[in-house]
Amino acid sequence: MVAASGSGSRDGWSSRTAFVLAAIGSAVGLGNLVRFPAEAAQNGGGAFVVFYIACIVLIGLPVLLSETLIGRHGQSSATVSVRRMAEQSGAPKAWEGIAALGVLGSTMILAFYCVIGGWVVNYIWLFFNDLIQSGVMGGALPGMSGEDIAAIFPSLLEDGMTMSVLDLIFLGLTFYFVARGVSSGIEVMATWLMPAFFILLLGITVYGAFGGAFSETLTYLFTFDFSKLTGPVMLAAVGQAFFSLSLGMAGMITYGSYVGRNVNLAGTSAIIASADTAVALIAGLCIFPIVLAAGLSTDGGLGLMFDTLPHAFQSMPAGSLVGLAFFIMVGFAALTSSVALMEVPTAWAMEKFQARRLPCATIIGLIVLVLGTLSAYSLNTLSGFHPLGFIPLFEGQGIFDVLDGMTAKLLMPIGALLICIFVGWVADPKLIDDENGLTGALHLFWRFLVRYLCPVALAAILVVGLFPDLVSA
Ligand code: TRP
């Protein structure tokens, strides 16, 4: 189907709804379900949440619109789309470097993202077996002591072989949908998985609200204590907003390039950002009541999902069923994001080498598999190998952490900062005005944000990411 793609033979979304669902699928992922609740917990609950929402509206949303409009204007892979707009604006075509950075960054994120996706597969398998053995009404993991459960996640992290196989399974699924193309692969997947995701999320949240500590959660997530809003907390919120909306890594340029001319991008961007934020908040309302009701601690980063929740499911009625449903839901969200990440380098390679989709996706899949396997082993056997150890920022870090830190602290803020400068200052305003679907005061406000507020916020995350000593926690 090319109906809405606006250009002859190029693959594209078959409808506006397909684009919106796929873009929400890209945005909603491990970032919403694992990182947002963990960051909110570590950074003082309500203060973080309120500031995060402000960041989404004032900083994330304007950049989201900027990225999609570059893609829609270019109707090509991310690099060619940026080059086209640069050339038409009389600017050097070297601006396409922004998107090249995104191609590289998306590939790097994909590598460690699929390792975490593999962990999710592991827990789906665990709770599936548990459900078969203990039946629907039992609590999860009967017969396991607290220490047994506490050992599940660390022993997975110690097992490079198992993690590599799980990584391969998750990457294989991602590859399958990307290889089938935009309208018959990615779009079909998003139109099935996103509604299923929302049903699961609401179901588990309602369940937790009845059985869990819901009012405690509300106090925790929405009590705004101004004194907790410190510099590091604010920067964590800006970084999380960008990661969650999939910005700075050419992802939304790529998805935008499959959108038809008749779609109002300002409207769709607002829908995408609202849905993404709603999911992050509901994820908090889903996870914390379960954790607080079981009397467990809410901090602990990734452990919140992979260690604390399994403990909590043990004491819940129908715990294995809820556990299984929960991790399937996380898997759906992760898959629609990993597909978006993989589409960026795939679309780039297809255009760069004038090649078909299958060989491009295969080669990218193999590169990601190697990086992913190395990341999995960097948590155990290869933990002493620090590839960029000579750079202070990456001192003592294995490949997994380098991929994460490099993309979150460097590539993402640089990419998004350059996008703002490009759209706000370099590109011909006439080209932009044709695309963005905004008029009047809103248009002026958006322009102001892209030219001033967004670059300043992004420069701040970049500087503090590079020189963490500048702000003390
Ligand atoms: N937004 C996704 C999440 O929240 C992750 C993601 C997908 C992403 N594509 C991206 C992050 C591009 C940065 C750039 O899990």
What b/e readout covers 22-50, taking b as 16+ CB neighbours within 10 angstroms?
Answer: bbbbbbbbbbbbbbbbbbbbbbbbbbbbb
Q: Residue 251 pLDDT more than 50?
A: yes
Model confidence over 305-326: pLDDT tens digits? 999 999 999 888 899 999 999 9
**Residue-level pLDDT at 233:** 86
Model confidence over 128-152: pLDDT tens digits? 999 998 887 777 898 899 999 999 9
Atom index in ligand 1 nearest the CA of residue 407 equals 13
CA of 235 to the centre of ligand 1 (A): 18
Lowest mean pLDDT among 1-15, 27-41, 362-376: 1-15
Atom index in ligand 1 nearest the CA of residue 32 equals 4
**Residue-level pLDDT at 235:** 86
Model confidence over 202-242: pLDDT tens digits? 999 999 888 778 888 988 888 888 788 888 888 889 999 99
Q: Residue 4 pLDDT more than 70?
A: no
**Residue-level pLDDT at 359:** 98
Closest C-alpha residue for ligand 1 atom 12: 246
Q: Which residue has the tokens 């369940």?
A: 207
Q: Residue 5 pLDDT more than 50?
A: no
Question: What DSSP state is assigned to residue 258?
Answer: T
- What are the angstrom distances between the C-alpha of 304 and each of 10, 126, 174, 236, 288? 43, 17, 25, 18, 10
Lowest mean pLDDT among 60-64, 217-221, 265-269, 468-472: 468-472
Nearest by Cα to 263 from 470, 435, 117: 435
Closest C-alpha residue for ligand 1 atom 10: 246
- Cβ neighbour number for residue 204 with a 10 Å cutoff: 20
Model confidence over 18-55: pLDDT tens digits? 999 999 999 999 999 999 998 888 888 888 999 999 99
**Residue-level pLDDT at 388:** 94
Find the residues whose C-beta lies inside 6 A of ligand 1: 26-27, 29-32, 106, 109, 243-244, 246, 249, 251, 337, 340-341
Atom index in ligand 1 nearest the CA of residue 247 equals 14
**Residue-level pLDDT at 7:** 44
Model confidence over 50-100: pLDDT tens digits? 999 999 999 999 999 999 999 999 999 999 999 999 999 999 999 999 999
**Rounded Cα gap, residues 166 and 54, in angstroms:** 37
Model confidence over 280-313: pLDDT tens digits? 999 999 999 988 888 888 877 889 999 999 999 9
Q: Going from the N-terminus, what domains does the chain have, and what CATH number goes with each?
A: 16-471 (1.10.4160)
Atom index in ligand 1 nearest the CA of residue 27 equals 1
Give me the long-range contacts of 402-407 (CB less than 8 A, separation at least 24).
403/108, 403/109, 403/111, 403/112, 403/371, 403/375, 404/112, 406/108, 407/105, 407/108, 407/109, 407/249
Query: 348 burial class (0-12, 13-18, 19+ CB within 10 angstroms)?
Result: buried
**Residue-level pLDDT at 472:** 59
* Average pLDDT score, the chain: 93
- Answer whether 435's CB lies under 8 Å from 69's CB: yes
Nearest by Cα to 473 from 173, 128, 234: 234
Closest C-alpha residue for ligand 1 atom 6: 246
**Rounded Cα gap, residues 306 and 28, in angstroms:** 18
What band does 1 get if pLDDT is binned at 50, 70 and 90? very low
- Cβ neighbour number for residue 452 with a 10 Å cutoff: 12
**Rounded Cα gap, residues 124 and 120, in angstroms:** 6
- Mean pLDDT over residues 449-463, rounded? 95
CA of 243 to the centre of ligand 1 (A): 5
Tell if the pTM clears 0.85, that is, is over it: yes
**Rounded Cα gap, residues 114 and 65, in angstroms:** 27
